[in-house]
Amino acid sequence: MEGRIVPVSADTDTDTDTDTGGGELVLVTGGNGYVGTHVISGLLRSGHRVRTTVRSHGRAASAAASVLSAVAASGVDPGGRLDIVGADLTADDGWDDAVAGCTHVLHVASPFPSVQPENEDELIVPARDGTLRVLRAARDHGVRRVVMTSSFAAVGYSPKDGDTYDESDWTDPADDNPPYIRSKTIAELAAWDFVAKEGDGLELTVINPSGIFGPTLGPRLSASTELVKAMLEGTMEAAPRMHFGMVDVRDVADLHLRAMAHPGAAGQRFLAGGERAVSFLWIARVLAEHLGERAARVPTHEVSDEELREAARSDPALREAAGQAAKVPVLRNEKARSAFGWTPRDPVTTILDTAESLFRLGLVKD
């Protein structure tokens, strides 16, 4: 399967009124991921034809099945407009075939670990080199624009005066940050550098989401949905003291589609997040207030700063929370609002829809 376009669209009824031949062909990388499934569903809903990549190391068939299941869960009928191809960020094979014939590429795929690796290159190298592979293939095949999913990690993790952030802010890749934060920063910087020096007219737009929550379309959970699951199951006994921006996964997908189509988005980055920072304790309280007995096990207090620092010494996964405990960031999203008319959902809706999706899929254990 590797390097070969393989149609695996769901069978459709012969009387469907879906136009299987209309719409531009758009490539979405990482199609079986949390954001990728919502992006694919949005593209199909808007009439595009979609090709998506999944990792091809012996798991392409199961990954393809998960993409189709997620699209079905979103209520969209692909109508013969969805193809899946095996391609991996760590190898050149497959990318030329994946990009061929596409007018746009939405580069969503990026490694995100459940725990931070001991060797940071396990994250940095595939994030940076994989991005460059996608950009080279896009340039060589005459793609009009690449919309890249970066992160607030590339925006707000270096010292500055105040805690207000917009698209002009950058994380310094040389700072002593966890590997994931460095990988997102380095990959985005490499993308802008490539387009400036070797892009040959290729347009680049970057989306920088804050913490992404919202309904999952399948059992493969993101780090954020895992946190909500842990709260509901009672395995998070106390909430880390940390404030962060929140954005709904559906709004992130919507912003990708708007950035893909808008002429003025070329060469721009867009911060995606609600301006009001939230905390883990705030999430727990929202769940408790609205879900009653189903949220009986959510944490009711925060870990103290001293406890958090002590835990971070032995648990690298808590290092980021310990470093950000005193910050209450303010994210300015005026650029996306004014450029596209983009309006993010209320965070209460986002959290409740996250929880309801976990219950609906049977992913919260009794």
The 10s digit of each residue's pLDDT in 48-66 is 999 999 986 566 678 888 8
Q: In this structure, is residue 136 part of a structural domain?
A: no
pLDDT for residue 55: 82
pLDDT for residue 18: 31
Termini Cα distance of the chain: 39
Contact 103, 26 (CB under 8 A): yes
Rounded CA-CA distance 275/106 in Å is 25
Question: How many structural domains compose the chain?
Answer: 1
Among 208, 206, 194, smallest CA distance to 146 is for 206
Q: In this structure, is residue 84 part of a structural domain?
A: no
Is 184 part of the annotated catalytic residue set?
yes
pLDDT for residue 2: 36
The active-site residue out of 160, 184, 197, 229 is 184
Q: In this structure, is residue 121 part of a structural domain?
A: no
Q: In this structure, is residue 297 part of a structural domain?
A: yes
Cβ burial, residue 292 (10 Å; 0-12/13-18/19+): exposed
Q: In this structure, is residue 225 part of a structural domain?
A: yes
Which one-letter amino acid corresponds to residue 311?
A: A
User: What DSSP letter does each residue of 318-357 carry, written as one string?
Assistant: GHHHHHHTT---EE--HHHHHHH---PPPHHHHHHHHHHH
Q: In this structure, is residue 282 part of a structural domain?
A: yes
Q: In this structure, is residue 241 part of a structural domain?
A: yes
pLDDT for residue 365: 84
pLDDT for residue 211: 95
Angstrom CA distances, 125 to 240, 316, 364, stand at 30, 20, 34
Per-residue tokens: 96: 């030329």
The segments of the chain whose pLDDT lies below 50 read 1-5, 8-21, 317
Q: In this structure, is residue 236 part of a structural domain?
A: yes
Q: Which domain holds residue 235?
A: 214-245+275-365
3-class DSSP state of 82: strand
